[in-house]
Amino acid sequence: MANKTEAAPKEEFTGWRSIFWPIHSIELKKFLPMAFMMMFILFNYSILRGTKDSLVVTSMGAETIPTLKLWFVLPAAVLFMLVYSKLSNVFSKNTVFYIVTTFFLAYFTLFSLILYPFNEALTPAFNVENTFLKNMLIPIQGWVFSSFYVMSELWGSAMISLMFWRFANDVTSLKQSKRFYAMFGFVANGALILSGSVLKLIKNVSLVSGLAVFSCVAIIAIYYWLNTYVLTDPRYFNPDEIKKPKKKVKLSLGESLKYIFTSKYLGFIVLLVVCYGVSINLVEVMWKGQVKLYCPTPSEFAAFMGGLQIWTGGATILFMLIGANILRRCSWFTAAMLTPLVIFVTGLIFFACIIFKDVLDPLIPAGAGLSLLAVIAYTGLTQNVLAKGVKYSLFDSTKEMSYIPLDDELKSKGKAAVDVIGGRAGKSGGAAINFLLLNVIFVGSSLVQLAPVIAGVFIVILFIWFYAVYGLNKEFLKITSEQNK
């Protein structure tokens, strides 16, 4: 049996090693499987995101996305949280992980073999003239693609934000997380480049969903291997270094929610997650509407989104290297503030291109071979790439670090409420804003016509985000200093 001194190497890294690979050799047996598990999760997330957008936008229109996120994705996220909380009270953490992952595996298998191949036969036909009812019924009519959209959205919240990061937080110390978390992304985000190539080369949606099934199997296998052959060794997992758990208290769902939402600490984390979701959604829906005009067919749209994944993967890997050093050399506040700053600046540039397009059009050189529509589409792509880069490298890492000092109840059920419901509420909040503007306040208007209004809402959301980072930093310093004492 190895002693505890072998479990935590004490030497610090210097030179280039401290920048590019601050992982001890003895830690590779733990680090690499976790990084590869995250890689498979991100690969699924990327191919599902590109595929769901190409199916929905080209068949139902970008204006359908707010309806889907508000009236379908959000209720599904709430239902998932309720089921997850119940499962957490009944089963062990490992069993819950297997149940959730198997659920997704079963759906994507069904979609690949039955739902997509027989989509036309399964789609009802009806026509409605009323604009409001039409926007509500289109997703119901196209329920096959709508269900795929909902499940793809849930995958990001359930598997990335909840299942993986809860597992990582349970087996990683705060000191180790400063080296591991950014490097997880550095290794795993190669999946974005791979997924982009898949979307560009593979046109068969059934085959793409088949790849999602394969990834689910790989995730389950890696998780089993880690828990069976790695985390049973004290060199790789010493519970005393993480946090000595108290006896598990099983609260009812109502008691859990009351406990969670009376926590000021979790309240600030909720604000971070919601503000990210709203701000990204406000930009993305309008951008995807422009991309549809630029790439009108499903194959062209999917290929364009594949390019987005490739660029996002490359940019994220670069940001991971930068972010890993920011996390180790700068304060939590500095690292956490960079994500809203980047999204704020790039988002304003994109909205400016939409709002002042009549001014910009004559400025495009005639011989450049670019149209104004292409400039807007690629400006939005650049905004998305930079926003995702800082999100994966800094936002996720700093958010997950903030969970580590919490007790088991807040870390488990609190994280479920924040990441699953908070994440969906963020995106659904952006969808609700678009839905109200399009269907209630400015009926008959297009997203482009509402760009100045949406840009104003975007600015307000970002200032709330800045406030949330400031407030959480104060709470984070307070709780960590008390634990150190």
Amino acid 330 reads: C
The pLDDT score that the predictor gives to residue 145 is 92
Give the closest residue to 197 by CA, choosing from 45, 313, 298: 313
Residue 416 has a pLDDT of 66
pLDDT band for 244, please (50, 70, 90 cuts).
very low
Tokens coding 467: 């406030």
Return the closest-CA partner of residue 81 out of 419, 345, 349, 438.
419
Give the Cα separation of 415 and 420 in Å (integer): 8
The per-residue pLDDT for 256 is 53
Mean pLDDT of 232-252: 59
Lookup result for tokens 């800082």: 390
pLDDT of the residue at 409: 67
Q: Which of 234, 63, 73 is nearest to 146 (CA)?
A: 73
**Highest mean pLDDT, choosing among 250-254, 255-259, 269-273, 340-344:** 340-344
Q: Which residue has the higher pLDDT, 82 or 182?
A: 82
Q: 345-393, pLDDT tens digit by residue?
A: 999 999 999 998 888 877 777 656 678 888 899 999 999 999 988 887 8
Which range has highest mean pLDDT (58-62, 103-107, 274-278, 333-337)? 103-107
pLDDT in tens, 424-482: 677 778 878 888 887 777 776 777 888 899 999 999 999 999 999 999 999 888 887 76
Query: Nearest to residue 164, comparing CAs of 393, 419, 385?
Result: 419
Tens-digit pLDDT profile for residues 101-148? 999 999 999 999 999 999 888 887 766 555 556 667 888 888 999 999
The pTM (predicted TM-score) of the whole model is 0.68
Overall size of the chain counted in residues: 485
Sign of CA dihedral 233, 181, 76, 104: negative
pLDDT tens digits, 387-419: 988 887 889 888 888 887 877 767 766 776 676
Long-range contacts of 235-238 (CB under 8 A, 24+ apart): 235/2, 235/6, 235/7, 235/26, 236/7, 236/27, 236/29, 236/30, 237/30, 237/171, 238/4, 238/7, 238/8
Statement: residue 422 has pLDDT above 80? no
Measured distance CA(268)–CA(271) in Å, rounded: 5
- Counting Cα atoms < 13 Å in the Cβ hemisphere of 37 gives 24
Sketch out the chain's domains with CATH numbers. Answer: 24-484 (1.20.1250.20)
Band of pLDDT at residue 420, cut at 50, 70 and 90: low
The dihedrals phi and psi of 101, each to the nearest 5 degrees, come to: -65, -40
Give CA–CA dist 397/177, Å, rounded: 8
CA–CA distance, 195 with 198 (Å, rounded to integer): 5
The pLDDT tens digits for 158-191 are 898 789 988 988 888 777 777 787 778 767 777 8
CA 41 remoteness from chain centre: 11
pLDDT attached to residue 339:
93
Kindly write down the DSSP assignment for every residue of 212-244, as one continuous string: HHHHHHHHHHHHHHIIIIITTSTTT--HHHH--
Can you give the pLDDT at residue 468?
94
Tell me the pLDDT band of 8, cut-offs 50, 70 and 90: very low
Q: 248 pLDDT band (50/70/90 cuts)?
A: very low
Which secondary structure element, helix H or strand E, spans residue 157, and what is its range? none
For the segment 190-227, what is each residue's pLDDT rounded down to a tens digit?
787 788 888 878 778 888 889 999 999 999 999 999 99
pLDDT surpasses 60 at 152: yes
Per-residue model confidence as pLDDT tens digits over 9-63:
445 666 666 666 778 788 888 889 999 999 999 899 888 988 888 888 878 877 7
Contact 7, 230 (CB under 8 A): no
Q: For position 54, what pLDDT does the model report?
A: 83
Average pLDDT value for the chain: 81
Specify the pLDDT at position 58: 79
- Contact, 126 vs 137, CB < 8 A? yes
Question: Two tokens at 207?
Answer: 């085959």
**pLDDT tier at 258 (50, 70, 90 boundaries)?**
low
What tokens appear for 465 in the block?
């985000």
